[in-house]
Structure 1
Amino acid sequence: MSVPDTWSMCLLEDVVEVHDELRQPVNAEERSQRVGEYPYYGATGQVGWIDDYLMDGEYILLGEDGAPFLDPTKPKAYRVEGKTWVNNHAHVLRGIEGLLTNRFLLHALNCTDYREFANGTTRLKLTQGAMRRIPLSVPPLPEQHRIVEKIEELFSDLDAGVASLERAKANLKRYRASVLKSAVEGRLTEEWRKEHPQTEDGPILLDRILRERREKWEKDQLAQFKKKGKEPPKNWQSKYEEPAAPGTSELAELPAGWVWATVEQVASNDDWAITDGPFGSNLKTEHYTSCGPLVIRLQNIGDGYFKRDDAHISDEHFAGLQRHAVVHNDIVVAMLGEALPRACLVPEEIPPAIVKADCVKVTVNGTACIPAFLMRVLNSQPTRRRSSLHIAGVGRPRMNLQKLRPLPIPLPPFAEQEQIVALVEERLSQIDSAEKTIDSELIRAKRLRQSILKTAFEGKLVPQNPNDEPASVLLERITTRGGQEQPKNTTKARKYAALRLKGGRA
């Protein structure tokens, strides 16, 4: 890389003080008993608070391990000041006074290519030895100040733009939720209802599907008696189990022509219309293969959309798990994690597949409820608010199958369901398009940030001043007088750290 003549190419160790002797890790259990007023830092930033400090001043912390070394859009270094504590996952650096400013060092480290210096198989690590060999282009000291001032001016403008984009994205998220809320509460189709009176309203629709459900059960029972050559026993119809009905005492009033139903009431009358995935030995790690039928897992279930992240089992194993199989337009529901229930439709192009544990498939009675409508109802805020009463677990919220079956859902006439689905899809499509535009702009902002740094460290961001003392002259003068090199023996520093740990003062 070409830089101005007044700049000098150095190794990092030539222009910084390395203060790794000040680092001291404290495990999470001990920190929980020592919470205090001082920030506790790790590889990528603050990770907690502690009751004492080891450093007092301005330092640059550079990740040793756990930092995003291969992602040029993410910072690997950050600045701290005041009384602080840092663990052993970050290097502690400070520019040599009069030669390198800390703020210039910070931006330089966040523009560095670490591919030749960070190594490791599962977790990249930047050793102190490798860090010391990182090359650094050092401009004259006054130019460093001008560069930093310009970078921070441009970054401030960029940050303001990013904040505006993030606010717009948050507003879209709220708008998405409000669209679903108005849809499931009947406000979205309020005008439509006035112009389209229905001959089969929600209550009539629900009565019909419950009647048809019972009739099918009785027909199947009679067929089984006949097949066995037996006469139906007395009161055999009394063994029929009605699907769970909603308790409506605490439910909101619905628009005219709507009725409260449950997930089970609008599900298909098939034996395994609502079922969760196989547990235990029925589906183990060794059952997974490189190809074959899919296993739909939690990571496949987006909030209203299906995410491809394929896992497979063999055709033979799939044949034994048919009760868990899904088909196009089945609803798959995540029962573990945040924002429950979380549901999406099984797409048309999906190959043979089953659901995994903590996922539920719902096959909908297509004459009673449109699958896309039920999916949107499950993802709406009113449904999630009702579901929250039945969710267990703090760290990993979980909802079980027995709570999903009787979950209350609003049921409008079938034609109105169609209209709701069409209106919701139209609005959500507009939101999706706006979100994609915002995401593109956010990516562009990250790239622009890197472009600013690249331009700065090529010497092209601010003009050079011929009156500035060249960095080479300054470096030579500091080197000649002994500079501010750190002593190889860090015993004194380690004793200082030990005193701090014991609550004393150096």
Structure 2
Amino acid sequence: MSEELRELPEGWEWATLGALLLNIQYGYTASATDQPTGVKFLRITDLQNNFVDWETVPFCNCSEIAKYQLSEGDIVIARTGATTGKSFLLKKIPETTVFASYLIRLHTSSLYPPEYLALFMQSADYWQQITTVSKGTAQPGANASILSQLIIPVPPVKEQKQIIAKIEELNDRTQRAKEALDSIPQLCDRFRQSVLAAAFRGDLTADWREQNPDVESPFELIERIYKLRKQQYEKDCIEVCKQGKKQLRKPSNLKPQIRDSEYLIEIPESWFWSSFEDISSIKQYAMSSGPFGSALGTKDYKDSGIPVIRGQNIQNGKFLLSNFVYVSEEKALELSRSTAYPGDIVIVAVGSSGQAALVPDSLHRAILSQNCNKFTVDKLFVDPKFIVLSLQNEIAKSQMQEKTTDTVRQFLSLTNLKSTLFPIPPLNEQHEIVKRVEILFGLISQIQNQHKKVESDLVKINQSILAKAFQGELVPQNPDDEPASVLLERIRAEREKLNNSKPKSRGTSKGKSKTSQGQVSIPGLE
């Protein structure tokens, strides 16, 4: 053995994997079928998270069932691809099953519990060896000869059983902790929706309204906004006239409306329902969609220039400043009606329909892709952050779902978005809602970050348990236990007896021979 191997407790031995096996065998080559004919056919893809769903395992017609039939106590290992080294211990096999050619079957001896070997194959020591032997090739892989030379610490059989029992006991505890942790993301999502529901029916700021009773009524607010917009529109018309340009079209939302809502949600008296169109600015292209058809495509993308906002930049109310593509300044000018600026609300129209986020201040100017819509809201009327939060609430989400056309890909058009209704509080109350929601969302983020850390810690704990187990530190040693060297000798004798009982092959090559189709005799396993 290598001088680099650590010292083991008394009674333990270092051994190769081959020294612990009766044989190693490659699987059967056949085509899988979902038709219930022949026998079950276990493949690499059927091994998922140390589990096999036998209902989904396909079938195959096998002419040599006896040679490839799996038995309880066998361990199968993936020998190629990204899952090289992934293993599975067969404890219960519901019906006759053979294994596919990209798997290797380890036939273990009944002289020791196969669970010990299966647990070692989950340890960092095992995976370090697998990584070492499979790296440096275009396609990761480990053949039977390589696997047979993996080094394993072997304790006495009695201690192996104690180690298995202790690991299972500790794993039960960590599994219970994991199951409790698994419920946290869903609880966080439910809490987030509860916060939004309370915010947009007025419960979250009930105390604020008590302390601030003197606010504009909805009708007063609408009239004030109308007067301001009308003044701005008239001013813009005069300016255009002076420049000798074409008369401006009258904005469709010049006078915002108080809308009737079919949504039976009681809101405070100082609130009212209004549409996306009503709350948008009257500026030209305040409500716009991305370029139509072939006006913008991959042919226009550059390595630098004006960034293009795509659906992947919008995620869970956040704007992701990454993975941009760009267009030239000339192309951006050509697509000026689809320009977005800081503070604009961008809504994904295709795929993740309804996902929305604010364009950040750091993005001075960008072009919408075909799958995005944009709204520039009237900041005298609404806080854009309030509207982005509203779009995450079930009231808005259900409306957008209804307005999404079910084509080959779901599509949320600008026209349909304009009629989306929001409960609108006074502007100062909107600011207060945004502040309170962001505080509560911040707490949720802290919980989620802590959840990720604890999940990572659980993985480390499980690996630490395995490390201690295979260093002889998990359970106490008993000097009266039969040493591992005796076990290894018994396995060798059992393997030799098994090999001698088989008919000899003719014309075997030096060092390695196939004793039967798919079964390999490895030096050191004779």
Q: TM-score range by the shorter chain?
A: 0.7 to 0.9
Deviation at 1:183, TM superposition (A): 0.6
- What amino acid maps onto 2:493 in structure 1? T
Which whole-Å CA distance do the structure 2 matches of 1:215 and 1:376 have between them?
30
The structure-2 alpha-carbon separation of the partners of 1:21 and 1:62, relative to structure 1 and needing over 3 Å to count, comes to closer
The structure-2 alpha-carbon separation of the partners of 1:122 and 1:377, relative to structure 1 and needing over 3 Å to count, comes to farther
Which whole-Å CA distance do the structure 2 matches of 1:297 and 1:11 have between them?
54
Give identity over the alignment, percent. 27
- What amino acid maps onto 1:255 in structure 2? P
SS of aligned partner of 1:410: strand
Tell me which stretches of 4 or more aligned residues in structure 1 moved more than 6 Å. Answer: 37-40, 120-123
- Which runs of no fewer than 5 residues in structure 1 stay unpaired? 70-74, 494-506
Query: What is the aligned partner in structure 2 of residue 423 from structure 1?
Result: 436
Deviation at 1:490, TM superposition (A): 4.6
Query: What is the aligned partner in structure 2 of residue 503 from structure 1?
Result: none
Deviation at 1:107, TM superposition (A): 1.8
Candidates 484, 488, 499, aligned match of 2:514: 488
- Residues 224-245 of structure 1: CA distance to partner in whole angstroms, max 9, x if unpaired? 4554489x8xxx98x6534897
Candidates 341, 366, 373, aligned match of 2:354: 341
**Contact 2:290/2:373 (<8 A) preserved:** yes
**Contact 2:27/2:101 (<8 A) preserved:** no
Which whole-Å CA distance do the structure 1 matches of 2:267 and 2:447 have between them?
32
**Contact 1:288/1:311 (<8 A) preserved:** no
The structure-2 alpha-carbon separation of the partners of 1:400 and 1:314, relative to structure 1 and needing over 3 Å to count, comes to closer
Moved more, 157-166 or 94-103: 94-103
The structure-2 alpha-carbon separation of the partners of 1:250 and 1:419, relative to structure 1 and needing over 3 Å to count, comes to closer
Matched, 1:192 2:203: no
SS of aligned partner of 1:428: helix
Candidates 475, 486, 490, aligned match of 1:473: 486
Query: What is the aligned partner in structure 2 of residue 170 from structure 1?
Result: 186
Deviation at 1:352, TM superposition (A): 4.2
Matched, 1:109 2:129: no
Deviation at 1:313, TM superposition (A): 1.9
Matched, 1:49 2:60: no
- What amino acid maps onto 1:97 in structure 2? S
Q: How does 1:81-120 map to 2 (within 5 A)?
A: 81-83=92-94, 88=100, 91-111=103-123, 112=126, 113=128, 114-119=130-135
The structure-2 alpha-carbon separation of the partners of 1:152 and 1:423, relative to structure 1 and needing over 3 Å to count, comes to same
The structure-2 alpha-carbon separation of the partners of 1:306 and 1:226, relative to structure 1 and needing over 3 Å to count, comes to closer
**Contact 1:66/1:123 (<8 A) preserved:** yes
SS of aligned partner of 1:188: helix
Candidates 366, 369, 391, aligned match of 2:382: 369
Moved more, 296-305 or 12-21: 12-21
Which whole-Å CA distance do the structure 2 matches of 1:446 and 1:115 have between them?
19
**Contact 1:24/1:87 (<8 A) preserved:** no
Which whole-Å CA distance do the structure 2 matches of 1:277 and 1:140 have between them?
70
Candidates 12, 17, 31, aligned match of 2:17: 12
**Contact 1:91/1:128 (<8 A) preserved:** no
Moved more, 383-392 or 364-373: 383-392
- What amino acid maps onto 1:10 in structure 2? A
Normalised by the length of structure 2, the TM-score is: 0.77
**Contact 1:203/1:259 (<8 A) preserved:** no
Deviation at 1:8, TM superposition (A): 3.2
**Contact 2:26/2:518 (<8 A) preserved:** no
SS of aligned partner of 1:360: strand
Matched, 1:330 2:335: no
Deviation at 1:444, TM superposition (A): 1.2
Query: What is the aligned partner in structure 2 of residue 153 from structure 1?
Result: 169
Query: What is the aligned partner in structure 1 of residue 510 from structure 2?
Result: none
- Residues 44-79 of structure 1: CA distance to partner in whole angstroms, max 9, x if unpaired? 41476257587563543434456567xxxxx93344
Query: What is the aligned partner in structure 1 of residue 469 from structure 2?
Result: 456
Matched, 1:256 2:269: yes
Matched, 1:62 2:62: no
Deviation at 1:5, TM superposition (A): 4.8
SS of aligned partner of 2:165: helix
Which whole-Å CA distance do the structure 2 matches of 1:129 and 1:174 have between them?
53
Q: How does 1:389-408 map to 2 (within 5 A)?
A: 389-392=402-405, 397-408=410-421
Deviation at 1:350, TM superposition (A): 3.7
Which whole-Å CA distance do the structure 2 matches of 1:275 and 1:77 have between them?
54
SS of aligned partner of 2:308: strand
**Contact 1:299/1:309 (<8 A) preserved:** no
Candidates 248, 252, 263, aligned match of 1:241: 252
Note the aligned Cα RMSD (angstroms).
Answer: 3.8
Deviation at 1:25, TM superposition (A): 5.6
SS of aligned partner of 2:315: coil
Candidates 252, 265, 270, aligned match of 2:283: 270
Which whole-Å CA distance do the structure 2 matches of 1:452 and 1:302 have between them?
38
Which whole-Å CA distance do the structure 2 matches of 1:15 and 1:173 have between them?
49
Deviation at 1:127, TM superposition (A): 4.8
- What amino acid maps onto 2:14 in structure 1? M
Which whole-Å CA distance do the structure 2 matches of 1:67 and 1:468 have between them?
40
Candidates 75, 82, 87, aligned match of 1:77: 87
Which whole-Å CA distance do the structure 2 matches of 1:125 and 1:314 have between them?
43
Normalised by the length of structure 1, the TM-score is: 0.80
- Residues 255-314 of structure 1: CA distance to partner in whole angstroms, max 9, x if unpaired? 212111122221222333233444665544455455554433333322133334332425
Q: Which has the larger radius of gyration?
A: 2
Which whole-Å CA distance do the structure 1 matches of 2:226 and 2:493 have between them?
94
- What amino acid maps onto 1:8 in structure 2? E
Deviation at 1:252, TM superposition (A): 3.0
Which whole-Å CA distance do the structure 2 matches of 1:474 and 1:395 have between them?
64
Deviation at 1:379, TM superposition (A): 0.8
Which whole-Å CA distance do the structure 1 matches of 2:142 and 2:296 have between them?
40
- What amino acid maps onto 1:93 in structure 2? R
Deviation at 1:210, TM superposition (A): 4.9
Deviation at 1:450, TM superposition (A): 1.3
Which whole-Å CA distance do the structure 2 matches of 1:65 and 1:492 have between them?
16
Which whole-Å CA distance do the structure 2 matches of 1:256 and 1:362 have between them?
27
Moved more, 426-435 or 120-129: 120-129
Which whole-Å CA distance do the structure 1 matches of 2:152 and 2:176 have between them?
30
Query: What is the aligned partner in structure 1 of residue 64 from structure 2?
Result: none
Count of equivalent residues:
478
**Contact 2:44/2:103 (<8 A) preserved:** no
- What amino acid maps onto 2:119 in structure 1? H
Which whole-Å CA distance do the structure 2 matches of 1:489 and 1:393 have between them?
60
